């Protein structure tokens, strides 16, 4: 089921909301169980066969978590110093993590690795068709975080219904944010979560509407232009620099509006139930360095990679060279997490290289020789360079293979591109997308770039309830834009991050 569908907005969400708060009057446990069942239905609406896989993963991880917690208690009772390094606990944690990664690896990477082996060895081995379950990367990482937090003694509550709800909570289940156990469990246990909060309802509807507008009027409007250019290149057409940049910028904005729109909707829906999910985006295209970009883009994934991969690898504690190797390895695996393909590996490697260069620049050049440069000049130059580097990397991310990415990047940066027709540029013609207007794309790019560069981040929006007149105006604006967004509903339009 999609957030951007009539069935979700007019049927599923109202029923779940009414049922939740009605049952909460009887008993909080009933309301939590209702929300858990509704979340499982939400997931199974796509393919009921994978509910069993999700529940199996939840039961196994919960059992491992309880086992690790009991082992920790027993070890402390026997006098072991609380170092977090009990041998039996560590073995249990390793087995549990390997089991999770094995499940993820089979569904997401088995055919990719088999295809790579076949290419190198000239074999024709096959595992048959493997359908990727929706959200498997997200619910796997969420539960790995739970296991590590349990191992480190950070988990304080083990209510099974709350744990199932923590994993399956439908606003975040399919495409994040990636949650920590400690962020959610206290909220599910707090009595205020089970009473209607009209301020939360108003703010939640505002966030949901904003996200829906990003999806329908931003991402979905840009998609035909991005797809047209990339598909043209895939079919063997060499683009002009103008066409290549048009396609690259269209995809750069499409991906942002699609994913941040989903996240805004997820935060808004969760707030209707008085649950606050962590912010996942903080205007990342305003970043003035790659380091800052990764503090603003998909923030919960960045946090996960830092806490559970970069730091365990040694972080910056083992010398400068090891630090950069750890950074590069983290981004390489982060790229592979996004998808089973060499383009994702190269995308991760690019960002690993970007981050390494950024750190070296700061340490060896900027802090030593460029302190005299005015801050606004550094921010402007850094922002332009960062956005260009990110856009170039998104080209690799979007491409179906390395050759397609190579053709696009060569055209963008003046290598082996078709000559630009000044007449085509002046008349807004995109020859690779003959049925769409380049002028329409120019308008979308203008408003899209103005949005991501000039407007405040959505996490700073709040519904103004103190002034009744202002509140009515704000409510009217929300209803109007909700109508505009719903009016754009057309064919099936899944979110891009569903495939990851």
The per-residue pLDDT for range 137-195, each reduced to its tens digit, is 888 888 998 898 888 888 777 888 888 988 888 888 877 688 887 788 888 888 898 99
Does residue 351 carry a catalytic annotation? no
Range of 85-94, 236-245, 277-286, 305-314 with top mean pLDDT: 277-286
Residues 338 and 425 placed together within one structural domain of the fold: yes
**Would the pLDDT of 454 be above 80?**
yes
CA angle 312, 317, 323 (to 5 degrees): 80
**283 confidence band (pLDDT: 50, 70, 90):** very high
| Residues 85 and 218 both lie in one domain | no
Residues 168 and 257 both lie in one domain:
no
Q: Can you tell me the mean pLDDT for 290-311?
A: 90
Q: Is residue 469 part of a domain?
A: yes
Question: Which of 151, 170, 195 is the C-terminal boundary of a domain?
Answer: 195
Q: Examine the domain organization and report whether 427 and 329 are in the same domain.
A: yes
Same domain, 130 and 274: no
Residue 274 pLDDT greater than 90, yes or no: yes
- For residue 9, is it within any domain? no
- Do residue 176 and residue 214 come from a single domain? no
DSSP annotation of 496 reads G
In a domain, 6, yes or no: no
Q: Do residues 228 and 329 share a domain?
A: yes
Same domain, 222 and 173: no
Separation between Cα atoms, residue 37 and residue 78, nearest integer Å: 40
Closest listed residue to residue 337, CA positions, set 306, 364, 301: 301
The predicted model scores a pTM of 0.87
Tokens of 366: 């900027």
Q: What are phi and psi of 429, to 5 degrees?
A: -95, 130
Structural domain count of the chain: 2
Residue 2 lies in a domain: no
Tally: H helices and E strands in the chain: 22, 0
Q: Are residues 403 and 436 in the same domain?
A: yes
Whether 130 and 208 share a structural domain: no
Residue at a domain's end among 131, 163, 195: 195
The answer to whether position 3 is within a domain reads no
Mean pLDDT of the chain: 85
Among residues 65, 87, 41, 325, the alpha carbon closest in space to that of 78 is found at 87
162, 180, 200, 338: the catalytic one is 338
Among the candidates 166, 195, 224, a domain finishes at 195
Q: Is the pLDDT of residue 84 over 50?
A: no
| pLDDT (0 to 100) of residue 72 | 67
Classify residue 54: in a domain, yes or no.
Answer: yes
Q: pLDDT tens for residues 44-69? A: 887 788 888 899 999 999 999 888 88
Residues in CB range of 496: below 8 A, 6 or more apart:
219, 254, 255, 258, 259
- Structural domain of 189: 15-195
Please tell me whether residues 95 and 112 are part of one structural domain. Answer: yes
């Amino acid at each position: 089921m999609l957030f951007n569908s009539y069935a979700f907005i007019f049927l599923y969400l109202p029923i779940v909301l009414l049922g939740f708060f009605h049952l909460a009057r009887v008993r909080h446990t009933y309301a939590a169980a209702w929300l858990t069942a509704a979340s499982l239905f939400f997931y199974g609406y796509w393919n009921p066969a994978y509910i069993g896989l999700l529940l199996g993963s939840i039961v196994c991880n919960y059992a491992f978590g309880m086992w690790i917690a009991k082992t920790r208690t027993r070890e402390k009772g026997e006098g072991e110093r609380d170092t977090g390094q009990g041998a039996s606990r560590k073995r249990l944690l390793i087995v549990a993590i390997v089991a999770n990664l094995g499940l993820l690896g089979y569904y997401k990477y088995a055919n990719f690795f088999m295809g790579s082996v076949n290419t190198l060895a000239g074999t024709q081995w096959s595992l048959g068709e493997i359908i990727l379950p929706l959200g498997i990367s997200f619910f796997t990482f969420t539960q790995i975080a739970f296991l590590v937090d349990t191992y480190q003694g950070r988990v304080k509550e083990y209510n099974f219904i709350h744990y199932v709800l923590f994993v399956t909570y439908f606003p975040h289940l399919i495409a994040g944010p990636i949650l920590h156990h400690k962020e959610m469990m206290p909220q599910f246990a707090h009595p205020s979560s089970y009473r209607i909060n009209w301020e939360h309802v108003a703010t939640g509807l505002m966030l949901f509407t904003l996200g829906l507008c990003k999806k329908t009027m931003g991402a979905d409007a840009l998609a035909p232009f991005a797809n047209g250019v990339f598909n043209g290149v895939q079919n063997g057409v060499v683009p002009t620099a103008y066409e290549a940049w048009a396609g690259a910028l269209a995809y750069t904005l499409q991906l942002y509006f699609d994913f941040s729109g989903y996240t805004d909707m997820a935060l808004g829906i969760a707030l209707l139930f008085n649950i606050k999910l962590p912010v996942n985006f903080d205007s990342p295209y305003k970043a003035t360095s790659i380091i800052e970009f990764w503090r603003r883009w998909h923030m919960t994934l960045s946090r996960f990679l830092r806490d559970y991969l970069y730091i365990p690898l040694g972080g910056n504690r083992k010398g400068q060279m090891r630090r950069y190797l750890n950074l590069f390895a983290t981004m390489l695996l982060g790229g592979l997490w996004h998808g089973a393909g060499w383009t994702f590996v190269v995308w991760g490697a690019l960002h690993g290289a970007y981050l390494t260069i950024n750190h070296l620049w700061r340490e060896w050049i900027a802090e030593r020789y460029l302190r005299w440069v005015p801050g606004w000049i550094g921010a402007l130059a850094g922002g332009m360079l960062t956005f260009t580097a990110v856009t170039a990397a998104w080209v690799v991310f979007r491409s179906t293979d390395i050759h397609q990415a190579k053709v696009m990047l060569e055209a963008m940066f003046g290598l082996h591109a078709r000559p630009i027709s000044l007449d085509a540029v002046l008349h807004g013609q995109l020859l690779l997308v003959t049925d769409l207007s380049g002028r329409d794309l120019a308008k979308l790019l203008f408003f899209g770039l103005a949005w991501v560069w000039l407007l405040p981040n959505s996490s700073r929006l709040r519904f103004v309830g103190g002034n009744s007149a202002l509140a009515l105006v704000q409510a009217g604006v929300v209803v109007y834009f909700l109508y505009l967004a719903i009016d754009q509903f057309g064919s099936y339009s899944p979110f891009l991050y569903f495939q990851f």
